[in-house]
Structure 1
Amino acid sequence: MATQDNCCSVAPYFQIHAGKSEEFRLICQKYVQWSAREPGCLYYGFSFDGDFAHCREGFQDADALLAHIENLRPILHEMGEVSTLVRIEIHGPEQALARLKPALAAMDPQYFVLEFGFRRS
C-alpha cells in the first residue's frame, strides 16, 4: 500500500547558546507568527528540553514548504545568532524530496522517504 499523502515535514534541532534562551524563545514566537499566515502550513511549533529545541513543521506539499522558506528568508539569520542547528530532517514523498533538495542543500539535511501512510482531511 503506497501513500497518497503529499505532506512534507521538517524536523530541525537546535542547541541554544548559553545565556540566549530568552532571545531564542522570542525568535520562536516571531517564527510562529510569520508561519501562521501561510495557507499551506499544516502545523508549526517549538518544543524544548533545557537548552535543546526542536521545531515541528508540516506542510501540505513541497510547494508549501518552498513558500515557507521564502516567507521566513528575511528573518532566518536570527536563529543562527542565538543557536546552532544540530540536525535537520526532511520527510516526504520521493518526488517532493527531489524538488526540495536544491533549495535545502546548504543545510545538509537527512532525507526520509515517505512510503506508507494516510492523511485525514
Structure 2
Amino acid sequence: MATQDTCCSVAPYFQIHPGKAETFRAIAEKYVQWSAREPGCLYYGFSFDGDFAHCREGFQDANALLAHLDNLRPILHEMGEVSSLVKIEIHGAEHELAKLRAPLANMNPQYFVLEFGFRRG
C-alpha cells in the first residue's frame, strides 16, 4: 500500500567557510527562530560535525515547504556568505515532490520518493 503521508523533509548539507563557524551558528539560530513561526513547519534544526553542518527540516506538505522558502527569502543570502551548500536532499511522496521540481530546480536537489511508511500526528 502506498503512503498517504504528505510530509516533505529536506536535508541540506553545508561546508562552513574557515573561521566562519560562529557566524554560521548565529545565522542558523536566526533561521530556527524564523522557521518556528511557520504553521506548516513540523521540525527544523541544525546539527554539526566540525565545519560541516546539516539542517534537519520537515514540512506538512510541498506547499508548506515553498512557504518556508518564501519566509526565509529575505535572509537566505546570509548562509551563502559563510558556507557552501554541498548537497540537498528532498524526501516525500511523488505527488508532493512533483509540486517542488520546477520551483526548486535551480537548487539541483536529489529527490527521494517515499513509497512506504506512516507518520503519527
TM tier, shorter chain?
over 0.9
User: What is the letter of the counterpart of residue 105 of structure 1?
Assistant: A
Structure-1 separation of matches of 2:41 and 2:54: 17
- Cα distance in 1 for partners of 2:86, 2:15 equals 6
Match of 2:55 in 1: 55
CA distance in 1, matches of 2:102, 2:2: 25
* TM-score, with length taken from structure 1: 0.99
Count matched residues: 121
Q: In the alignment, what sits opposite 2:40?
A: 40
* Structure 1 residues without counterparts, runs of 5 or longer: none
Residue of structure 2 equivalent to 1:96 = 96
What SS is found at the alignment partner of 1:3? coil
For the residue of structure 2 that corresponds to 1:96, the secondary structure is helix
RMSD, aligned CA: 0.5
Shift of 1:2: 1.1
Structure 1 residue 102: Cα displacement: 1.2
Moved beyond 4 Å, runs of 4+ = none
**Counterpart for residue 19 of structure 2:** 19
TM superposition shift of 1:110: 0.2
Alignment partner of 1:120 is 2:103: no
Partner of 2:5: 5
SS at match of 2:48: strand
Q: Partner of 2:81 in structure 1? A: 81
SS in 2 for 1:95: helix
1:95 Cα offset (Å): 1.1
Which structure is higher in helix share? 1
Shift of 1:103: 1.3
List alignment gaps of at least 5 residues for structure 2: none
Supply the distance in 2 between the matched residues of 1:44 and 1:29 (Cα, whole angstroms): 10
Q: Which stretch of structure 1 is more off in the superposition, 81-90 or 99-108?
A: 99-108
